[in-house]
Amino acid sequence: ILYTTTISNKGNQASDNIVITNPVPAHSRYLDGTAKGEHCVITYSVDDGKSYGNSQSLKVRLKDGRLRAAQASDCTHIRWEYRRSLLPAEVKNISFQTQLL
């Protein structure tokens, strides 16, 4: 399933500091490498949005207390930080894909 969020500036001035967070829907898993967004820094959460990091830095705690590298299927939320000003009337799209479980 492809999810697309449209970001638009309907104001009269440029918008800065735009951050969009999307949860990975229930009964699906995030497909690695599918999060897209021009001029965005994309980070991920594996703890229901409490903390974010790049996909290489995230860890998941196992039942025995040990940590393992997070996998795409552990992702619970995706965050896009738009790193430019969004000009009046400008429209951008961000997206990600999931697979139903």
| Angle 52-53-55 from CA coordinates, rounded to 5° | 125
pLDDT tens sequence across 45-75: 999 999 999 989 999 999 999 999 999 999 9
pLDDT tens sequence across 76-91: 999 999 999 999 999 9
| Angle 82-80-45 from CA coordinates, rounded to 5° | 155
Pairing between strand 2-8 and 91-100? antiparallel
> Residue 95's pLDDT is what?
98
- pLDDT confidence band for 27 (50 / 70 / 90): very high
